[in-house]
Amino acid sequence: MKIAVAGATGYIGGRLVPRLVEEGHEVVCLARNPRKLDGRPWREKVEVRYGDVGKPESLAAALAGCEVAYYLVHSMGGPANFAAADREAAKAFADACAASDVQRIVYLGGLGSAEDDLSEHLSSRHETGEVLAAGPVPVTELRAAVIIGSGSVSFEMLRYLTEVLPVMVTPTWVSTRCQPIAIRDVLAYLVAVLDDDPGNHVYEIGGPDVVEYREMMQVYAKAAGLPKRVLVPVPVLTPRLSAHWIGLVTPLPTGVAKPLVDSLRNEVIVHDHTAGEKFPVRPIPLRRAVELALARSESFDVETSWSDASTTPAQPFEGDPKWAGGTLFTDRQEATSQASATDLYWAFARIGGKVGYYSLDWAWRVRGLIDKVFGGVGLRRGRRHPEQVRLHDTIDFWRVAAIEPGRMLQLAAEMKVPGEAWLGWKIEEVDGSQRVVQTAWFRPRGLFGRLYWYAMLPFHHFIFRGMLEAIVAAGESRGGRNTAPADVKVTTT
């Protein structure tokens, strides 16, 4: 079949696409920024079209010729009223599918009984399915609870809470029952429903284990070789307070953590077992799902991550960013080296994560902590891989905005900052040597943005200069050279 995937840049979509290709389907990926899929190993095997669910006029052409359309889009963590945004996007998608002669929509939603007082997040998931099904195109809706897989938002939250906190004062939601399912089983169901009979269907899917969240933490601790965690329940921690705490100790921003935590007060287990009886999927136990996710994470074999689908993606640009008018502050440093371009690129392309920032790393950690306190992502997102990098990867509180392997890398800041910030490196050949140019750009927002830049200038002198010196030294060391410290030239405007 010819299949469209809306949400191909996200966690689920990015893993579903190659599996559909393996099954022999012709896949069309819809993306509001098609370049986000550059660098994916399956990119040349699919067609990528511009399609933005927030811009209904873009969808009909994007869906043209497709028989099935997967809807794997969610606005949580984006607009404040994400439920309204999801409702409007689902209506636009359903209308476009009808206009494009799509024969079936497949949607992944969330478990939860409609009879319960569902959280805003779960209510929105159900409502999205209802809006899609209200159109003339039949909808197959799968409903899942906690998805366990390397890089999933649920797994990362479970992982960091368990690893960072051997003793945890816990709110009442840790006693709520849920039915987690491995990402591989979710993908198996998403593929299996293609053989389902036409019509509107809602299938509940889950793993074989029904557990409380605190039991999940103990399962993770055992799988990770950690001592049993001590959990002290108290009735006073509200979802808002819990979300702020999770925002501090996990990679998740508070804006993402709050709706997730609010949903944990609802029991999410499978009551209708039709899916398990109808489709040839045999879900693996929670312990095995955690072990597989851990193994993938520790070997840096993370296919996709929750942070791939940023609601505020970095804007790709070529060369130095330029704007017509407005203020743009820059800090430009350059150093010449006899090391090869390959070794110098390796040195700056591995920045962040466990390697750190080469100079005054403690200052970057403090900046990450400040970012978390104010609801940002901080440094805990780390890297997908310790050395490999691709367009739109997240690196701590940065996102790869542009890349030319072996020559150039530019990062766009996703930290809390009064303006827009970038940091980049490029290599130029000069008289047989390699010149590394490191530039920090800052586009301030209002007076506070300007004050922020000038307040940081004294720190920039030491941080950025030391960073470039250490990058050049690392590149030369990799190439087997042992030279004097790099002569760094600095220009600030």
**36: CATH:** 3.40.50.720
Q: Examine residue 313 and state whether it is found in any structural domain, yes or no.
A: no
Do 335 and 248 share a structural domain?
Answer: no
Q: Examine residue 318 and state whether it is found in any structural domain, yes or no.
A: no
List CB contacts of 84: < 8 A, sequence separation 6 or more: none
Do 283 and 399 share a structural domain?
Answer: no
The dihedral through the CA atoms of 451, 453, 457, 460 has a sign that is positive
HSE-CB of 357 using CA atoms within 13 angstroms: 24
φ, ψ at 400 (rounded to 5°)? -70, 115
Q: How large is the angle between the packed helices 120-133 and 254-263, nearest 10 degrees?
A: 80
Supply 130's token pair: 């209802």
Do 370 and 267 share a structural domain?
Answer: no
Q: Examine residue 323 and state whether it is found in any structural domain, yes or no.
A: no
Listed residues 308, 337, 362: the one ending a domain: 308
Do 378 and 243 share a structural domain?
Answer: no
Q: The CATH number of the domain where 485 resides is what?
A: 3.30.530.20
Do 361 and 213 share a structural domain?
Answer: no
Do 333 and 301 share a structural domain?
Answer: no
pLDDT at 319: 38
Q: Which domain holds residue 257?
A: 2-308
How far apart, in whole angstroms, are the C-alpha atoms of residue 164 and residue 220? 12
Q: Examine residue 224 and state whether it is found in any structural domain, yes or no.
A: yes
pLDDT at 148: 94
pLDDT at 386: 87
Full DSSP string of 110-157:
E---TTS---HHHHHHHHHHHHHHTSSS-EEEEEES-EESTT-HHHHH
Nearest to 31, CA basis, from 18, 48, 43: 48
Q: Examine residue 407 and state whether it is found in any structural domain, yes or no.
A: yes
Do 285 and 224 share a structural domain?
Answer: yes
Do 413 and 285 share a structural domain?
Answer: no
pLDDT at 182: 96
- The β-bridge partners of 148 are 182
Is residue 336 within 8 A of residue 435, CB to CB? The reply is yes
How far apart, in whole angstroms, are the C-alpha atoms of residue 3 and residue 375? 38
Do 254 and 383 share a structural domain?
Answer: no
Q: Examine residue 347 and state whether it is found in any structural domain, yes or no.
A: yes
pLDDT at 472: 93
Do 380 and 252 share a structural domain?
Answer: no
pLDDT at 314: 34
* Positions of the chain with pLDDT lower than 70, given as ranges: 76-80, 236-240, 244, 309-327, 481-493
For residue 261, give the DSSP letter: H
β 408-413/398-404 pair status: antiparallel
Do 355 and 299 share a structural domain?
Answer: no
List CB contacts of 92: < 8 A, sequence separation 6 or more: 53, 56, 59
Listed residues 255, 274, 308: the one ending a domain: 308
How far apart, in whole angstroms, are the C-alpha atoms of residue 392 and residue 37? 8
Domain total in the chain: 2
Do 426 and 359 share a structural domain?
Answer: yes
Listed residues 275, 308, 341: the one ending a domain: 308
**pTM for the whole thing?**
0.74
